[in-house]
Amino acid sequence: MLRDRLNDDKVAREVVAPALLLIQAERLGVNETTLMYFAAAVSGAIGGDGYVSSAMRMVVLTSGEREIAMLWAAVLAAYGIKAEVQRVGRTFQVIVSGGDAVRMAGRYFRYGPPLLEEDERIINHKLAEAVKLGAEGLNVSWEGLRRTPSGHVAADLTISETDIAVKYKVYLSDKIELQFRSTDRGRAELAARLLRLADVSAEIKKASGEGKWRVKATTDMLAAGREELRKALAEIVRKAVENGWVDEEKARRWLEKLEGGVVAWEGKKFEVDLARDALHVRYRSITRESVEEVAREFKAMGLEEGVHFTVRWSEGLGRVSLLAEGVRRLKWVSIHGEEGQRQRAAEFLKFLEAKARAKGGEVLRKLEALVEEGRSRGALRLTGLEKDGVKVLGVETEENDGKLYVTIRAEIDGAVEEYRLTFTRERDGTKRLQFYVRGGAARAVKLVEV
């Protein structure tokens, strides 16, 4: 019996949280306050040995004790969520699937820890999966179209997810702007998280001199959101045009973006084009914070500044440029990188492919060629290899003027050396390898074709 083992501190700690939640549900019922405690405790359980899968529409808690797993199942049932307990090896899993998983993921993302996306070392990937899963329960509606004293057009837009909703203000002026303001930071956090469910990356900021927290998103960020949100905003714009409150040409431009969807990454617009037969991927902004955010995101994907991307400032304009080597590296990371890096790199490549597909022609072919080169780079797995006093620190490749360059950085008995290999083919078809050691003499070796 479980009660006979409660003197074991480890067992007791695992029992306390679900037991208290069950007592809370029985005595206080299920409401906003008890849901907060429920979701906070579930966050800890998922953050331990649990996991969330948006692809499988599943949330799973894990325990080494069958009785504790059954207790968690009872808790979930008390909060309106059906779960099954299954034995997997030496552990027991509490499995929530389908619509119940969507509801549970929604509560987890609403009350769980922050996403912390700016640093790959601390990003909460389980919560990021919960955001994707919880989006299935998203609903968007609007009402109250009106003119403001300043002559602008306003409406109320509500985003809801299962049992919770947040009302935002939408303003039509020289742009479409969605705002939420509150003196309650927790409410502002929730407003930002619901926007995140709608694929709109909006940040919380303190409104200067007002004592309020503000969440704001504008035209392009909104046009990059989910279809439900874009459809509601388009309806607001059309109704405003019918009333004669918005210029038709301006409204037409807005509707083109809302109906087609702006292909953006986390609300940021990148340029993808060709220049001198080379693929150019750039992000430009006058805001240093935005430029640094993109650079941090690239680093979190496993890219190195100066090798895979560059950051430049000129006349107050910042530019982050993803190099061809960066595109190749992204594909390699999406296959062989660390767990969190793989997903983010794959998502960014998917975004680049959508941008290139919209351009078509040579832009798409150039991107596909770089991606294929990155896919075939199994040699980069050498990084981190250590044997007999030699540790491989990094492997970089570059193709230029018909030559293939491979640079290997290695630590040998405490000293860092750099080796550069150059592969070429002569006119008679002979392959040649040139081998350079930094600070040493060059050696050339003929490779006879087989």
| HEC-encoded secondary structure of 77-110 | HHCCCCCEEEEECCEEEEEEEHHHHHHHHHHHHH
Domains in the chain, start-ordered, CATH in brackets?
2-112 (3.10.28.10), 138-260 (no CATH), 270-376 (3.10.28), 380-447 (2.60.40.4240)
Q: What is the average pLDDT value for the chain, to the nearest integer?
A: 79
How far apart are the C-alpha atoms of 405 and 325, rounded to whole Å? 12
Mean pLDDT for the stretch of residues 438-450: 44
Q: Which of 286-295, 297-306, 435-444 has the highest mean pLDDT?
A: 297-306
Confidence of residue 114 (pLDDT cuts 50, 70, 90): low
pLDDT > 90: what percent of the chain?
16
Residue 229, pLDDT score: 92
Residue 172, pLDDT score: 95
317-370 pLDDT, tens per residue?
Answer: 889 999 999 999 998 888 888 877 888 888 888 888 877 876 777 888 889 888
Q: Say which amino acid occupies 276.
A: R
120-174 pLDDT, tens per residue?
Answer: 344 456 666 766 676 667 789 999 999 998 888 999 999 987 667 889 999 999 8
Residue 338, pLDDT score: 80
Higher pLDDT, 415 or 208: 415
CA distances from 161 to 80, 102, 201, 251 (A): 15, 10, 17, 29
Residue 121, pLDDT score: 41
For residue 190, pLDDT over 90 is answered with no
pLDDT > 70: what percent of the chain?
78
For residue 2, pLDDT over 60 is answered with no
Range of lowest pLDDT (242-251, 253-262, 274-283, 371-380): 371-380
Residue 141, pLDDT score: 94
* Beta-strand relationship, 84-88 and 443-447: unpaired
203-229 pLDDT, tens per residue?
Answer: 788 877 667 899 988 887 788 788 889
Residue 257, pLDDT score: 83
39-80 pLDDT, tens per residue?
Answer: 778 777 777 778 787 767 888 888 888 888 888 889 888 888
How far apart are the C-alpha atoms of 82 and 61, rounded to whole Å? 13
Residue 429, pLDDT score: 63
Residue 438, pLDDT score: 62
Residue 309, pLDDT score: 93
How far apart are the C-alpha atoms of 447 and 450, rounded to whole Å? 9
For residue 116, pLDDT over 60 is answered with no
For residue 448, pLDDT over 50 is answered with no
For residue 333, give the 3-state DSSP assignment. Answer: helix
Confidence of residue 91 (pLDDT cuts 50, 70, 90): confident
* Continuous H helices in 337-439: 339-359, 361-375
What one-character DSSP code corresponds to residue 348?
Answer: H
